Structure 1
Amino acid sequence: MNEQTGPDEALVAAVGHYLDQSGKLLKLVSDQPNADELLAIQLAPDAFDTGFHLAVAIQFAARALCLPVGHPVPEIVEPYSLKSLRSLHEDVRTAINQIPPIDWDSNVSHIAGEAELTQRAADYVVCFAFPNMLFHFTQAYAGLRHAGLKIGKADFDGLHKY
């Protein structure tokens, strides 16, 4: 981001950045001989597996930016696979590249678990969608680290260099 970027543009750019990081993490997994096993890792017996967390993180980029402008959100294909996750990533990238400017004062109605919420678009993205994207990305990252994949902070944020 440059110094001319305002908060609205910075937020859209941040969603896109972490979508790209999710894609890079997906590529790292795809390059592993045990990729399907890595996608099945759970941090706890009652937790989603790594692959599903990655799918949800990718989809949340679209939920964050498409929902406020009324554009459709690409669906997660189940059962998912490396191929369907790569396809979802491409579909979400295409979807968010096509959104018009967001009216940050418009209302967004959505479901959060079992809660039905209506929030101002800016609050929806900042307080719900983007944090959920990062939560699921973090869970996928943690599952992969737990499974022994050699990834670090640079793979998470794409900014650090070691």
Structure 2
Amino acid sequence: MYDQSVIVFERYLQRLSVMMNRLEAYAETASKQEAILQTSLAPGMFPLVQQARTAIGFSMRTCYPLAGLEIPEIESHEDTVADLRRQIKEAERYLQALSARNFTKAAEREIVTTAGFKELRLGGETFLTQYALPNFFFHLSMAYAILRQCGVPVGKGDFDGFHEYPAGFAF
């Protein structure tokens, strides 16, 4: 389960970093960046900064319990692109500290977590495939959607790192 968790999160945390690059290039001033970071798609939804933090947090909330280890805490200091970058780097370092050996019994572990205000008890495989990965990608997708809504020139290739389109192509 190491490849299905750690490797996936490492890749997509890098993609989140690419999207932060696009945000910085588009919104050159701190005040413009802050305005975009505080944008949400609809009332009651997390703003971009919290969508990104939640995605980052899901990488830890997933991999460490699957490895049978305590979840490391990544603190948020401020609502800035620089702090999100720091959090991404910190999460990447924590993920790199894990090895495939940590995951030998991951599928058999019972993972206790919360979904909003609901406590969940799930087997490792169900936890990863039906809860954690979909939630990570939900929050990553919301961050992408907010960036697009704000005019930041991000595309599918920025999100997944595979797609390429010619300049000016609507993606």
TM-score when normalising by structure 1 = 0.87
2:45 aligned residue (26, 44, 47):
47
Q: Which residue of 2 aligns with 1:148?
A: 151
Deviation of residue 76 (structure 1)? 4.4
Q: Do the aligned residues in 2 keep the contact of 1:55 with 1:76 (CA within 8 Å)?
A: no
- Residue type of the alignment partner of 1:60: F
1:26 aligned residue (7, 17, 20):
20
Unaligned runs of 5+ in 1: 1-6
* Deviation by residue 1:5-62 (Cα, 9 ceiling, x = unmatched): xx65244322221111112112222333121121111111221111110111112111
Secondary structure at the aligned position of 1:119 is classed as: strand
Deviation of residue 75 (structure 1)? 3.1
* Deviation by residue 1:88-130 (Cα, 9 ceiling, x = unmatched): 1111101111123312211111111111111111211111111
Paired with 2:75 and 2:132, the residues of 1 have a C-alpha distance of: 16
Deviates most, 147-156 or 29-38: 29-38
Paired with 1:64 and 1:142, the residues of 2 have a C-alpha distance of: 23
Paired with 2:11 and 2:47, the residues of 1 have a C-alpha distance of: 23
Q: Which residue of 2 aligns with 1:4?
A: none
Deviates most, 23-32 or 87-96: 23-32
Deviates most, 52-61 or 68-77: 68-77
Q: Does 1:60 align with 2:58?
A: yes
User: What are the equivalent positions in structure 2 for 1:111-150 lying under 5 Å apart?
Assistant: 111-150=114-153
- Residue type of the alignment partner of 1:21: R
Paired with 1:142 and 1:134, the residues of 2 have a C-alpha distance of: 12
Q: Do the aligned residues in 1 keep the contact of 2:5 with 2:63 (CA within 8 Å)?
A: no
Root mean square deviation, CA, Å: 1.7
- Residue type of the alignment partner of 2:52: L
Identity of aligned residues (%): 24
Secondary structure at the aligned position of 1:73 is classed as: coil
- Residue type of the alignment partner of 1:16: E
Paired with 1:152 and 1:145, the residues of 2 have a C-alpha distance of: 8
How has the CA–CA distance of structure 1 residues 85 and 8 changed in structure 2, closer, same or farther, with 3 Å as cutoff?
Answer: closer
